Each structure stands twice: as C-alpha cells, then as structure tokens.
Amino acid sequence: MGEHEESMDDTLSVEEPLEISLATDGNLPEKVSITMRTPGHDEELAAGFLFTEGILTSVSQIQNIAHTQTLPGVESNTLLVTLNAHQKIATDALKRNFYTTSSCGVCGKASIDAIQTVSLFNTQEKPRIKVRAALLKTLPDQLRKAQAAFNQTGGIHASGLFDLDGNLLALREDVGRHNALDKVIGSQFLLGNVPLFHHILLLSGRASFELIQKSAMAGIQVVCAVGAPSSLAVETAQRFGICLIGFLKHDRFNIYTQQECIEP
C-alpha cells in the first residue's frame, strides 16, 4: 500500500523551570527548590511544596507569594514566598535534611520516618471514613473529562481531589506528577482546608512513593490511582493508615491497604 505524509501542527505540554525562594523575617531570600513544571497555578505549587516538605504549617505564616518581575508585565520563572514577621519555620527542612521527594531522586525508610515526625496530622486521631466501591468507579471518567491539558497534548499528569460524595473539588495538571499533587494540596492549604481527612485523591498514573508521602503530609486517607502502586508506596500507605487503590477503572480496582475503608 502507498504511504502518505502530512505536515501539521501539534500541541505540546509546556515544561519550564520554576525557582522557589523563601524570605523570612529580616533575612534575605533563600532558594528552596528548582522544579521543572507546567506554568500555571505556580502560587499553589509553591505553597503545596513548602507544606508537604514540612517547611510551612499554616497559611497564616504567608504574607505574600508573587513572581519576581524582570520585565514590566512579564512573569518570570522565579517565585518569592514572603512570610509574615516573626514566623518560625523548620530551618532544617530548608536544608532538606529530613526527607526528599522524588524530584530529587532520594527516598526510603528515613523519609517514611520523617513524615511521622514532621506531619501535623499523623499524630492526630483521624475520623474513620467509608467509601462506596460504586462511587470510586465513577471517578476516573470524571477526572479524564476534566483533563483539559491532557486532551490537547496527551502527555501530562493530573491529580484530582474529590469529596466523599464523589464531587470533584480541585484538579491540577502538570508535566511532573509531584507538581500536580503539590498544586492540588497547595490550593487547599491556601484556603485553610487542611487536613484533608474527608477527601479522596485520584492520580492519573501510577501511585509512587512521593505521592503517598505528600498525601500523608496532607492527611488524605484515600488515595486512588489509575495505574499501579510501587512497593514502597504500599508500605508507606500501610504505615500511615491510607487506603490505597490501584488500577481503578469503571468496572474494577485493586485494594492494597485498609480494605475496611471500602464498602460494597
């Protein structure tokens, strides 16, 4: 059969660096992180990152989050988080001594132990929640239909936050799966809605360790993934009482931890 060639435009996912700096009371800004991300919701990304890293604990600590301006009217790829006066923050966390997400490629038992120490919510008694299996099976279609960037590019991750009635509350997309989740958690952190005890998180891909780590920091008790979990993700979910669901589809799913959370 003959071959046919055609030239056409394609829509690509945008990937650019974002440098996050933190200015504390009376001190010069200190660079905290550089991450490759899809521009958009950068303030949420910074807030979510600083929260899930254990550096910030309350939105009341933040005075302002803004892009630094290099040209009038042009947003830069640098973001400055300025704290209110006399705020105490985890300076050890700034040096990234307690744990590191997969954005830096380091994880393990020390990271899991650190979540227990740093997270505000893992020492609290959590309310027991139940989720209907039939409700879970409706979530992937909701997420997929809401993924505007994925529909255009086919190459971007998503995290979606649902309430226990299956209503989609927040969805964020990014080339980095950890960035997408930081944006979702950051959106709720800035609204003062953490801990997220009564919520369901749905990941568009696999459930990796750092995503369960961030979920634990935010108090999320049910994490679902369209793909598979890693062994360390399962271990972390079990450690922190997170119900972990994998291979979630409209007609089936696997339960890896906390099976009692799911009702028939």
Q: Locate all alpha helices (DSSP H) within the chain, ordered by sequence.
A: 42-52, 91-94, 109-118, 133-136, 139-146, 148-153, 177-190, 209-218, 231-239
CA–CA distances in Å: residue 142 to residues 97, 123, 169, 171: 39, 33, 11, 10
Neighbours of 178 (CB within 10 A): 24
CA pair distance 198, 195, nearest whole angstrom: 9
Q: What angle do CA 44, 12, 69 make, to 5 degrees?
A: 45
104 counts as catalytic: yes
Q: Would you name the residues annotated as active-site residues?
A: 104
